[in-house]
Structure 1
Amino acid sequence: MARRLFEGNSPAEGDRILYPGCGGEAPFAKAVEAICREEGYPLPSGLAVENDPGLAEQAEGLEINHLRLRKVDFLGPEMAEEGPFDYVLGNPPYVPIEGLSEEEKARYRSSFQVAKGRFDLYLLFFERALSLLAPGGRLVFVTPEKWEYVETARPLRKMVTGGGRGSANYHVEEINHIEEDAFPQLTAYPSVTAIRRIEDDAAPADLATRIRTRDGTSHRTQLPSGGESWAAAVRGKDLSGMETGLTLGDVTVRVSPGMATGADAVFVFSKDEVPKGLSPKWTRPTVSGEELTHGGASNPQSVFACPYRSDGTLPKESELGAFGEWAARHRERLENRSCVQKTGKQWYAWHETPPMQDILRPKIVFKDIAKEPKFWAERTGEIIPRHTVYYLVLEEGVSFDQLLDYLNGPVAKEWMEAHCQRAANGFLRLQSRVLRKLPVPTRVARERQGALAL
């Protein structure tokens, strides 16, 4: 990363370098000193920022000649006036929104453009570091690759590919996807990103980005602007010919994950071990992702204990009958669920209220995480998928079989491999938000389109 920072951009006397969240060992600062010594470069004046008292104390004891340490919050107001820097080098902390207090979330949302939705702290480090970068300066960060395509990072993608005349903007010079196990304690799919700050009137003619992949290949691409996902461009997929004007979201009533009960150990049984009194009125067949892999959706081996009526309403406790007698044996466990404690749900309800009028229809089901996308038909409309299974319900007039064949075909597979988020070991996350954007051929919806024309 330090060598990439100086590639075609070696330091000169008076240059400044910033190390956000330097850590106790300050490895990036050590690397910079080693490279400058080896290449005969003058050492830039370095500022390391570390807010953790223990790590800051450890860093203070290091013998790093070019370094000054500030024990402040890199995202706080103290840093806003510290720039500009000719170089920024670091590994921002990965802290999801669940790890932040309500006060922190409110403060960050009021101070940072990229603090939208369920933001991660490393996105804010990007924004602050970029704001401190001098014209012509370069930033090199290692982060999870998912900022290239997740919806939460849309404002950051827009920031580094947009910019108006006369205002500062940026060129994403390179994205290098490094080994999956580079951080053994994390499943991060890390990438190293190099970004240069430019002025509009000095923008180079070629703003293509060099992409290095984990299989050792590389290519150059033009990243989409406006914040949209970079996934297809980064993965070298030209899918522009797929656009039909129709998406999966247009031809489906619902693309959703299956039901979470908050206590599957209580509510789910093998179909051969249903407690007496529950079947058949108080049970529904169900299927998990693991069961899909081994048996598809035609013969589920599990059932839900289900208190809900076919219209989705929940009976009063006095109307539960045999279900209530069975559930009472597990009442303490069910009352301790967050949906009861925090949101006031009935103690015998599921964590999520099932949309029975949609879910009890013929549907196409698929696993939420898969090595390769695969879709199964659930034609009976009787099965309620569990939370490891997603399902899609078709609009009237859409051909079930044609859509199923298309989803299992090579064109849709290529699109999903280009756009879906990566999980561990090369698996794909088949998220409904992404799949709704999948282009579909018009032939699957001819009857629906004809009906709309009438």
Structure 2
Amino acid sequence: MAQAGGVMNQPNDGKVYTKQWVVDFMLDLVGYGTNSLGDLSCMRIVEPSCGTGSFLYEIIRRLLANSSRRDYLSLKDAIRAYDIDQECVNHCKDTSRQILVDDFGVDAGTATALVSDWVVCGDFLLDHVEEDVDIVIGNPPYIRATDLDKDKRRAYVGAIESMSAGTDIYVGFFDRALDILKRGGKLCFICADRWLQNRYGKILRRKIVREGNLEILMRMHGVDAFAEEVDAYPAITLVGKDEQQERFKYVECDESFSEENIDMLQASLNSDEDGNGDAWHLASLRMPFDPVAPIPLGTKRTVCFVEQAQERLPSIEDAGISIGIGIATGCDGVFVADNPDVAEGSRMLPLFYMRDYRRKTGKHRWLVNPWDDKGNLVDLDEYPRMREYFESHRSRLENRSVVRKSRNQWYRTIDKINYSLLNKPMLLMPDIAQEPLPVYNEGRYPHHNCYWIASEQWDMCALGGVLLSRQTKDFIDCLGVKMRGRSLRFQAQYLRLLHIPGFDTLSKEIVAGLQEAFERLDRDAATKWTARMYEEAGICCVRM
């Protein structure tokens, strides 16, 4: 089992290693050692996070097998492999030296000199690295922003254009790799693909459109590509340092995709046609006109539907619909109560708790509300029961970051109450689900674990039919990040990407059909009537 450096959602710097067949496929993808690039001794290749080295070892084997030079010291600039872990660097040097001596007959002194140049202990994002290189390839670390050392994170944000305080570290590797490539060079990484569609990937998307060309994206969610199970959602991404083209090749792999599927896929990638295999499909997709917009991904027909709706119809907010998230309290153990009598009745708001709804617990919860309708904290002296309740939890409430700068607001929630939502009909969506699950709500205030949707223009049950439909799933699936088990995120930032007609353009028949489908929670009927809705608006709809 091959080992190549790279962290995939493991604690801090824990390593997860790429399997050998993936390493081979990626090197073939950039043409390194396939004869398409000719004599490799004239090229320079960089591995930015070499770990224990299988990208590096295979690079060495291919370099020596495809080099016309037998003055081995002349190859000292052909490879650079970086890692911040000295132990990994030492291991890579020892193994690389052994490969040179045992497999290629290089004398020990020359081998030692070569690996001393090739393998470097350093931080690829901060230290001086080789520039004007032909290829950057590997499996960069996947460390969440919250797991980065604060000083290190600050340094990365200062040095890397695409990184912010909330950016996971692999984004910086894309950015720096693009900087050091020569014109016509290739960047090929296997790592998380969230940057393509989430908020923190905006700057990187813009940079790649401005300075490079997304050629291939191969989504491998659930594929057995690593030496151990990972929580991240990886893709192989190939970017050229060329002018951005109108289209790129998108490969969607089933979880069963394996080494046995590579040859047929490679043949299809080398052609100009879309294709399908036993565990994959390939489609040529169009890059969005907006360089920072999420990139739609999916089957060509589904992406075409989404793009038509985006181009011809108003966004869901422009159609008169408001979207937001439920209240974050900062201390649910105090502010969310099972007993409605812990404070005065006027201070207790019935709360909608999505987890209770989905588990059908029948449980009721209340929010102990410290805010008045003007957005000010109430005077606790006017509510002695609430004062007594909060005082009994004072140390817990005071020990929250939200109140450390305003000690006199020690009993505040993170969010204020939006009084315009009280007793207003609305739809609520769970954060994570495999299908859209809109819930009608009136009279209960939404908790932070769900998103609310309200409108003065749309009928809520008709809108519920639209949101229940598979067309809504298609939108979120094409434009939103994926979770474990192919679950989707129905966050406000993705719901706002929906495009629908204005309510006043719908026929009475379609409105009635959508209403009935939602009231019966009939997804097939909701999909049928939503297809009719889009077709009347001139949008060719995939689902019926």
With the length of structure 1 as denominator, give the TM-score of the two structures. Answer: 0.83
Matched AA of 2:81: A
The counterpart of 1:214, out of the listed 238, 245, 254, is 254
Deviations 1:154-207 (A, max 9, x none): 2222332344xxxxx334234242536656564211111122333x5xx8x885
Choose the corresponding residue for 1:131, options 179, 201, 210: 179
Residues 1:300 and 1:74: Cα distance change in structure 2 (over 3 Å)? same
Does residue 430 (structure 1) correspond to residue 490 (structure 2)? The answer is: yes
Asked if 1 retains the 8 angstrom alpha-carbon contact of 2:30 and 2:186, the reply is no
The 3 A distance-change label for structure 1 pair 434 and 414 is same
Q: Is the 8 Å Cα contact of residues 367 and 390 (structure 1) preserved in structure 2?
A: yes
* Rounded Cα–Cα distance in structure 2 between residues aligned with 1:343 and 1:221: 54
CA distance in 1, matches of 2:217, 2:470: 30
User: Could you say what secondary structure the match of 2:337 adopts?
Assistant: strand
Kept in 2, the 8 Å contact 1:5–1:194? The answer is no
C-alpha contact (below 8 Å) 1:286/1:300 kept by paired residues = no
The match for 1:242 is: 309
| Conserved? CA contact 1:366–1:389, under 8 Å | yes
Q: Give the match's secondary structure for 1:9.
A: coil
Once the two structures are superposed, what CA deviation does each residue of 1:262-309 show, in whole Å capped at 9, x if it has no partner?
A: 221222233xx44x452522211112221231449xx76222222223
Structure 1 segments unaligned to the other structure (5+ residues): 164-168, 448-454
How many residues are aligned here? 425
Q: Is the 8 A contact 2:216 2:239 kept in 1?
A: yes
SS of the residue 2:201 aligns to: helix
Q: Aligned pair in 2 of structure 1 residues 188, 343: CA closer, same or farther (>3 Å)?
A: farther
What SS does the aligned partner of 2:409 have?
coil
Matched, 1:49 2:82: yes
Q: Which residue of 1 aligns with 2:452?
A: 391
1:329-408 matched pairs, under 5 angstroms: 329-341=392-404, 344=407, 346-358=409-421, 360-378=423-441, 380=442, 382-394=443-455, 396-408=456-468
Partner of 1:177: 220
Name the residue aligned to 1:452.
none
Distance 1:63 1:119, change over 3 A: same
Q: Secondary structure at the match of 1:422?
A: coil
CA contact (8 A) 1:170 1:195 kept: yes
Match of 1:188 in 2: 232
Give me the whole-angstrom Cα distance separating, in 1, the residues matched to 2:383 and 2:54: 63
Q: Distance in 1 between matches of 2:176 and 2:465?
A: 47
Q: Find the aligned partners of 2:389 and 2:43 in 1 and give their Cα distance.
A: 72
SS of the aligned residue for 1:315 comes to coil
Q: Look up the equivalent residue of 2:335 and give its one-letter code.
A: F
Determine the structure 2 residue equivalent to 1:266: 334
Alignment equivalent of 1:286, drawn from 351, 366, 372: 351
The question of 1:154 aligning with 2:202 is answered yes
* Match status 1:9 vs 2:36: no
Q: Distance in 2 between matches of 1:194 and 1:402?
A: 43
Conserved 8 A contact 1:87-1:138: yes
Alignment check: 8 A CA contact 2:342 2:385 kept: yes
Bigger mean CA deviation after superposition, 83-92 or 2-11: 2-11
- 2:477 match: 417
Aligned residue for 1:28, secondary structure, equals: helix
Q: More strand by proportion, 1 or 2? A: 1
Q: CA offset at residue 8 of structure 1?
A: 7.0
1:252 offset after TM fit, Å? 4.7
C-alpha change, 1:51 and 1:242, in structure 2 (3 Å) is same
1:231 aligns to what SS in structure 2?
coil
CA contact (8 A) 1:161 1:170 kept: yes
**Cα distance 1:427–1:50, how it changes in 2: closer, same or farther (>3 A)?**
same
Q: Which residue of 1 aligns with 2:263?
A: none
- Provide, for residues 358-388 of structure 1, a one-character-per-residue CA deviation record: whole Å limited to 9, x for no partner: 355221111011111110111x3x2111111
Instruction: Give 1:10 shift.
Output: 3.7
- Secondary structure at the aligned position of 1:404 is classed as helix
2:499 counterpart of 1:439: yes
Cα distance change on mapping 1:253 and 1:440 into 2, 3 Å: closer
Question: Which has more helix, going by share of residues?
Answer: 2
Q: 1:305 to 1:414 in 2, by over 3 A?
A: same
Please identify, of 216-225 and 287-296, the stretch whose mean Cα deviation from structure 2 is larger.
287-296
Distance 1:345 1:231 in 2: 47
Once residues 446 and 212 of structure 1 are traced to their aligned partners in structure 2, the CA distance between those partners, rounded to angstroms, is: 35
Kept in 1: contact 2:49–2:82 (CA 8 A): yes
How has the CA–CA distance of structure 1 residues 26 and 444 changed in structure 2, closer, same or farther, with 3 Å as cutoff? farther
Structure 2: stretches of 5+ with no match in the other structure: 1-22, 34-38, 101-113, 256-278, 508-544
Whole-angstrom CA distance in 1 between matches of 2:54 and 2:481: 30
- 1:438 Cα deviation from its structure 2 partner: 0.6
Q: Which amino acid aligns with 1:177?
A: M
Which amino acid in the other structure matches residue 41 of structure 1?
N
Cα distance in 2 for partners of 1:427, 1:210 equals 20
Q: Distance in 2 between matches of 1:358 and 1:345?
A: 27
Displacement of 1:147 in angstroms is: 1.6
CA distance in 1, matches of 2:432, 2:385: 36
Q: Could you say what secondary structure the match of 1:361 adopts?
A: coil
2 CA distance for matches of 1:27 and 1:343?
53
- Classify 1:62/1:416 alpha carbon distance in 2 versus 1 (closer, same or farther; 3 Å): same
How far is 1:391 from its partner? 0.6
Change over 3 Å in CA distance of 1:335–1:367 after alignment to 2? same
- The answer to whether the 8 A contact 1:20-1:90 is kept is yes
Q: Secondary structure of the residue that 1:62 maps to in structure 2?
A: helix
Match of 1:89 in 2: 137
Change (3 A) 1:152 1:223: farther
Question: In the aligned structure 2, how far is the partner of 1:147 from the partner of 1:18?
Answer: 22
| CA displacement at 1:214 relative to structure 2 | 2.8
**RMSD over aligned Cα, in angstroms?**
3.1
Amino acid at match of 2:476: M
Farther off after superposition, 146-155 or 133-142: 133-142
Matched residue, 1:70: 120
Q: Classify the secondary structure of the residue corresponding to 1:47.
A: strand
Task: Report the secondary structure of 1:421's partner residue.
Answer: coil
SS in 1 for 2:189: strand
Q: Using the alignment, how far apart are the partners of 2:193 and 2:446 within structure 1?
A: 30
Distance in 1 between the 2:183 and 2:463 partners? 51
Residues 392 and 212 of structure 1: CA distance in aligned 2, closer, same or farther (over 3 Å): closer
Structure 1's 178 and 246: CA in aligned 2 closer, same or farther, altered over 3 A?
closer
Q: State the secondary structure of the residue aligned to 1:128.
A: helix
Q: Following the alignment from structure 1 to structure 2, what is the Cα–Cα distance between the partners of residues 434 and 359?
A: 24
Q: Encode CA deviations 1:321-347: one digit per residue, 9 max, x unaligned.
A: 111112211111111122122565622
CA distance in 1, matches of 2:225, 2:185: 27
- Equivalent-residue separation in structure 1 for 2:399 and 2:223 (angstroms): 38
Identity %: 22
